A and B are shown apart, each in its own frame.
Chain A
Amino acid sequence: MPGSDLAPPSGPTDSPRQDGPREGPHEGPVARWFNRRGWSDLITGIPFFWLFFFFLIPFVIVVAMSFATRSPTSPPFSFGLDGGLLDFRSYARLFSDQLYIRALGISLWMAALSTVLCLLIGYPMALALTRLSPSVRTIMLMLVILPFWTSFLLRVYAWMGLMGTNSWFNRGLTALYNMVVPADWALRSIQMMNTNFAVVVVMVYSYLPFMVLPLYANLERLDMTLNEAAEDLGSRPWQVFRDVTLPLSIPGIIAGGLLVFIPVSGELVVPGLVGNPSNPMIGRVISDEFASARDWPMAATVAVALLVLLVGPMMAYSHFENRAQTRREEAP
């Protein structure tokens, strides 16, 4: 067996190393501290304290604020005025005043509607992207991503231009509408601005890339031979979609859905610019309570309520994700 009867080796002739563990050339105490733990303490400590200071503390203040009492002082709140340390009156109002429940309901409904529409428009787009040749695909992908980099505000603004009563878009839609309906239903123009319809259209428009990109990332990873196997076993294309592609893309659907649902439910810009002012969404309510009514405890309470509603689906998602993760790890 070659190698089994090697002659006793002569040590490396030109070893650049002395025996024993290596020591750095000149190590002062500072250098030694840094070598041991300092570098890792620095890179964890700096972001930790930043977020602790500018994210966690403000958040805790908001939660605490929801239990405070409104007062005509500056800043306009105080704690423990009427005996008890915690004041639950804001929470009582949250459930008794129709305004808040209604706003929460409208927001969640609009968010759900926008999410479903984004999915219906975005899913075929994402699927189409995976079926393109690589060179066409990069260009199309680029076209989908590009609006994501351009200003959100300006994209909303662009719709304001389209939906105004005099715009070519509105006149075109009106003409189409008048062709379809009986003559006495004819309109001079369609009222689009300042309606919930406008809010949903613009939300779908603004958040569509957030749905398409995670879906595409998910669909692209799917093994095309699975589709071929299903076809080979006699499935028609729509059956292949129903039995193979759709079930495997559920993680992408959930990720995209959350990326749309969560920001839309707290959205302030879109309803502020194209929405119906008499039907405020929850973001508007929070901002009005805070800035116009100067009722900080109430604003904080509504904010906490919204967060609780958003954390639910988020937790469900991370549970789902963790389960999928462990399943992946168990399969070697």
Chain B
Amino acid sequence: MVEPGAERVGTVAPFIRIEGVGKRFGSFRAVENVNLTIDRGEIFSLLGGSGCGKTTLLRMLAGFEMPTEGRIFIDGQDMAGIPAYERPVNMMFQSYALFPHMSVAKNVGYGLKHEPMTGPQRADRVREMLDLVQLGPYAERRPHQISGGQRQRVALARALARAPKLLLLDEPLAALDKKLREHTQFELMNIQEKTGVTFVVVTHDQEEAMILSSRVAVMDKGRIRQVGSPTEVYEYPASRFVADFIGQATFFDGVVRSVEGPVAGVEVGALGLEVQARAVPGLVAGQAVTMALRPEKIEIMRERPEGPNVVAGAVEDLGYFGNHSIYKVRLPGGEILSVLSANARRVGESGRVAVWEDSVWMRFDPAAVILLTE
């Protein structure tokens, strides 16, 4: 598997290097053979469903779990045998894990007790951190006296107070409601920019990973399936799993008929035509491939359009989402294709392309076709 992220190595010495790391709990392999490099100043996301090993990997970076195989380097230093309390790493916990018996200021200042600082220096640092997360007026409150969003910011300030080289965030936004989550995403990015600390974020929410991160690692069953920028993993998924896990896609089996420069002709039985698709390296005629189509990359219309990659179908079902509609179109072969269409005009004023049972035409660009050879 070619990792698009791997090419960055070499330009700057990697800040975090994870080499062949695995973790077993008894006979259960939580993490298997993970190789990863993370650069200084990145916001790096570990994305995956529950039980995919992302949290275990994060806890190994923090030092709460020790790898059963492989090594972890942070800033060139081998972390083997170094306990959590000696690592230049701090963590923001999913539950925030605020100390219930301490005020907000004491929480933020707790980690500074272990630093060679004088009392006034410590107080200054606490104030600085509270200002950073705009919680100055709440310094003397207890954790149960502030709201969920404020608790999240206290946890962030506490983890940043010791100026860690690496900040680990375990599902940082999961406990917030939707509106607050959107606001906080941008705040997190601002704070990352201001402090320059490297962030590693664990999340199961693909949107969160897309918006926050400079790069994303998609994990499944303890393994990393793909590493790349959000655009790379969305637009150029390396496997059917990644294409399916991030965003939506309809999959078709096909056989390559011809490869002419950048364009490949792929015979897709279910569509009853030879699809023109952008070729991927190493493609040869006669090869079996999987083709993935994202719903938003398909145009839907009533008149037959010009050009290649045109299919006919009948609307089987449609869902109205306000800003867009999803059409489930039955193809002649019986398969269902999902098509997303923006509701550019008000639906009540005949803005809808088609309704149930209408015959429609669909067209997609050769560059929009994802070919998966795996």
Which residues of A are at the interface with B, using a C-beta cutoff of 8 A?
Answer: 1-6, 8-12, 14-17, 19-25, 332
The answer to whether A6 and B41 touch (CB under 8 A), given A16-B125, A21-B82, is yes
Q: Contact check, A16 vs B112: say whether CB atoms are below 8 A apart.
A: yes
Q: Contact check, B163 vs A6: say whether CB atoms are below 8 A apart.
A: no
Q: Contact check, B196 vs A9: say whether CB atoms are below 8 A apart.
A: yes
Residues of B within 8 A of A11 (CB): 196
Residues of A within 8 A of B215 (CB): 4
Q: Contact check, A3 vs B197: say whether CB atoms are below 8 A apart.
A: no
Q: Contact check, B189 vs A3: say whether CB atoms are below 8 A apart.
A: yes
Residues of B within 8 A of A332 (CB): 50-51
Q: For the complex, what is the distance from the CA of A103 to the CA of B193, rounded to whole Å?
A: 80
Q: Contact check, A21 vs B115: say whether CB atoms are below 8 A apart.
A: no
Residues of A within 8 A of B269 (CB): none
B226 to chain A: closest CB distance in Å? 16
Smallest Cβ-Cβ distance to B125: which chain A residue: A16
Q: Contact check, A17 vs B229: say whether CB atoms are below 8 A apart.
A: no
Query: B196 contacts which of A4, A10, A16, A23 (Cβ < 8 Å)?
Result: A10
Query: Sorted from nearest, which 10 A-B pairs have the closest CB atoms?
Result: A9-B196, A9-B41, A15-B163, A21-B86, A12-B163, A16-B115, A4-B214, A1-B230, A3-B214, A22-B86
Binary A-proximity of B201-232 (CB < 8 A = 1, otherwise 0): 00000000011111100000000000001110
B253 adjacent to chain A (CB < 8 Å)? no
Residues of B within 8 A of A6 (CB): 41-43, 192-193, 214
Q: Other CB < 8 Å A-B pairs besides A1-B231, A6-B43, A6-B214, 14 of them?
A: A1-B210, A1-B229, A6-B41, A6-B192, A12-B163, A14-B125, A16-B112, A16-B116, A16-B162, A16-B163, A21-B86, A22-B86, A23-B86, A25-B116
User: Main SS of chain A's interface residues?
Assistant: loop
Residues of A within 8 A of B197 (CB): 9, 12
Residue count of chain B within 8 Å CB distance of chain A: 38
The 12 listed contacts between A and B (C-beta, < 8 Å) are A1-B210, A1-B229, A3-B189, A4-B229, A16-B116, A17-B115, A17-B163, A22-B88, A22-B114, A24-B114, A25-B116, A332-B51
B114 to chain A: closest CB distance in Å? 7
The answer to whether A12 and B214 touch (CB under 8 A), given A1-B231, A3-B43, A6-B41, is no
Q: Contact check, B213 vs A3: say whether CB atoms are below 8 A apart.
A: yes
Residues of A within 8 A of B230 (CB): 1, 4
Q: Contact check, B41 vs A2: say whether CB atoms are below 8 A apart.
A: no
Q: For the complex, what is the distance from the CA of A16 to the CA of B108, rounded to whole Å?
A: 14
Residues of B within 8 A of A3 (CB): 43, 189, 192, 211-214
Q: Contact check, A12 vs B195: say whether CB atoms are below 8 A apart.
A: yes
Binary A-proximity of B65-89 (CB < 8 A = 1, otherwise 0): 0000000000101000010011110
Q: For the complex, what is the distance from the CA of A106 to the CA of B116, rounded to whole Å?
A: 71
Q: For the complex, what is the distance from the CA of A120 to the CA of B237, rounded to whole Å?
A: 64
Q: Contact check, B41 vs A8: say whether CB atoms are below 8 A apart.
A: yes
B248 adjacent to chain A (CB < 8 Å)? no
Q: For the complex, what is the distance from the CA of A14 to the CA of B129, rounded to whole Å?
A: 12
Q: For the complex, what is the distance from the CA of A6 to the CA of B197, rounded to whole Å?
A: 12
Q: Contact check, B115 vs A2: say whether CB atoms are below 8 A apart.
A: no
The answer to whether A2 and B211 touch (CB under 8 A), given A9-B196, A16-B125, is yes
Residues of A within 8 A of B229 (CB): 1, 4
Smallest Cβ-Cβ distance to B189: which chain A residue: A3
Query: A20 contacts which of B77, B114, B163 (Cβ < 8 Å)?
Result: B77
Residues of A within 8 A of B196 (CB): 9-12
Q: For the complex, what is the distance from the CA of A5 to the CA of B231, rounded to whole Å?
A: 12
Q: For the complex, what is the distance from the CA of A304 to the CA of B14, rounded to whole Å?
A: 67
B323 adjacent to chain A (CB < 8 Å)? no
Residues of A within 8 A of B85 (CB): 22
Smallest Cβ-Cβ distance to B210: which chain A residue: A1
Residues of B within 8 A of A5 (CB): 214
B95 adjacent to chain A (CB < 8 Å)? no
Smallest Cβ-Cβ distance to B231: which chain A residue: A1
B7 to chain A: closest CB distance in Å? 15
B142 adjacent to chain A (CB < 8 Å)? no
Q: For the complex, what is the distance from the CA of A19 to the CA of B213, rounded to whole Å?
A: 26
Binary A-proximity of B182-199 (CB < 8 A = 1, otherwise 0): 000000010011011100
Smallest Cβ-Cβ distance to B114: which chain A residue: A22
